[in-house]
Structure 1
């Protein structure tokens, strides 16, 4: 018989910050978010697991007026005021050259670098699953550091890629506004599906 290894259980405050009290933020206060805090977001998010530790997600922080001027035209019009008000906006992208890092991040199987180099379809499979997975981790890391996250899907990915990733090696998957909320949520929390609507047992 094997012996189980106990894992820590987070407290009520952490659960509330990450899940039960978490809200998407649409407008942000003028309070700045410094570069050290933005760095801490990735320092936290990077430890969550991915398939074979391949880590395809890349983060572009847009936080200057010049950067915002380049980004906002590529967002759907209703989303532009949200990102304009955010102290920082993270463009989350997947790197289709993630395999170049394999000898360093998966040293037990360095030969996978050549394998993925010769198989673009398998690289796409890795990025299409693990990129969104890491994006979820990223949002949780934002909340864990006491910041509000406003993830958005309404944007021209091809336009953002052309503007910020002209080498063609990265593809945008999510835009996340980051900062402190400008007041309480704009509307009451919407209902969630109940256990009996979602969970089955076998």
Structure 2
């Protein structure tokens, strides 16, 4: 394996330094092929025991969008209404049932979680959150813009979309091509010494 090369400034800008959370969307569709490519890229990010608990429901149809809008806080409604696609980024609370496939060198790994619901919940929420971050970066790599949201009624989303399953919503993420007219001035970030400690 060769030494990894540092990402160039354009790539850094596209992924993080100049990328923005979008509030308004251009009327440009996102294809099924793009959504498949997005997942195929995002799935390679690391998770503990390769547990990969993230599950994604891509909301595009008007019927599904109307249901989702009923669970979104009013301040986010226009974003959800106008985004070409809204991803419901969820986690599978029974993720451990897939461990024989995902972690084959330890086929009984699921036994660690099966009777320990608190550990299972902590593990799947943490790792689906990691995967959600990879998902956003993968979308940006493919030229898509993102608008991640936490302003929604989680119980309502679970009832509307995941009733009778082991899936639970983590966050929502609007996907498409952002309209620059909808951007706010960029908010500041903490400096290294405000956020980090070396011990």
Q: TM-score, normalised by structure 1?
A: 0.94
Structure 1 Cα separation of the partners of residues 44 and 181 of structure 2: 31
Q: How far does the alpha carbon of each residue in 1:38-92 deviate from its partner, in whole angstroms, 9 at most, with x for none?
A: 1111111100000010011100000011110111010001111001110000001
How many Å apart are 1:5 and its aligned residue? 6.6
The question of 1:113 aligning with 2:117 is answered no
Maintained 8 Å contact 2:84/2:176: yes
State the number of aligned residues: 199
Corresponding residue of 2:79: 82
Q: How does 1:114-193 map to 2 (within 5 A)?
A: 114-193=111-190
Structure 2 Cα separation of the partners of residues 200 and 172 of structure 1: 33
How many Å apart are 1:156 and its aligned residue? 0.6
How many Å apart are 1:201 and its aligned residue? 2.1
Corresponding residue of 2:89: 92
The question of 1:40 aligning with 2:17 is answered no
Please list every run of at least 4 consecutive aligned residues from structure 1 whose deviation after the TM superposition is greater than 3 angstroms.
none
SS at match of 1:6: coil
Corresponding residue of 2:20: 23
Corresponding residue of 2:4: 7
Structure 2 Cα separation of the partners of residues 144 and 184 of structure 1: 22
Task: Sort the Cα spacing of 1:111 and 1:32 in 2 relative to 1 into closer, same or farther, 3 A.
Answer: same
Maintained 8 Å contact 1:161/1:168: no
The question of 1:69 aligning with 2:58 is answered no
In the alignment, structure 1 segments of 5+ residues that lack a partner are none
Structure 2 Cα separation of the partners of residues 76 and 163 of structure 1: 15
Corresponding residue of 1:198: 195
SS at match of 1:25: coil
Maintained 8 Å contact 1:86/1:177: yes
The question of 1:101 aligning with 2:98 is answered yes
Q: TM-score, normalised by structure 2?
A: 0.95
In the alignment, structure 2 segments of 5+ residues that lack a partner are none
